[in-house]
Structure 1
């Protein structure tokens, strides 16, 4: 996700990210060519896993991923499924994979 998109999402939905949810900075998903250049076996595995998960869900040429953590368990604004819908609406249905409840991108 581009930093500008993340920043504009935080501004547009400041009522969500000022307390109910915490949005972390995006992490890059490497291309297959970039992964091939990694010498460390564990790092290579971790990077390839992120790419494979994105591809499994139909994303072509994924660029990044980020985490959102529920900070207020009382869900005063939106529940987790609804917050996922906000991101799908803003970023496009085919551009986002949402993993919930302990699912992991590593």
Structure 2
């Protein structure tokens, strides 16, 4: 019985490690902070506003992308020399829609 518990614990630890490797920006880290900060600055620049509401909106979007971007996505971005890939645009669009709905209560059309 103890061995079974140890095996299950070991599997859970490995699964947790694999998840951290698969989604490197999901958990708090220096790299996640840098990613979110740079994405927020770009968002504010693109939107042309530095209001507190826009800052919260941009932070929501950046956090949404950071949560679901995978190591594979990051590798593709680096290998291709592109900062924006179709997958990144998909994640950003999804995050934008969710954040807009959270902040306004309406769907983004």
Please state which structure has a larger fraction of its residues in strand.
Answer: 1
Q: TM-score, normalised by structure 2?
A: 0.28
- Answer 1 or 2: higher relative contact order, Cα 8 Å, separation at least 6: 1
Q: TM-score, normalised by structure 1?
A: 0.28
Larger Rg: 2
Please state which structure has a larger fraction of its residues in helix.
Answer: 2
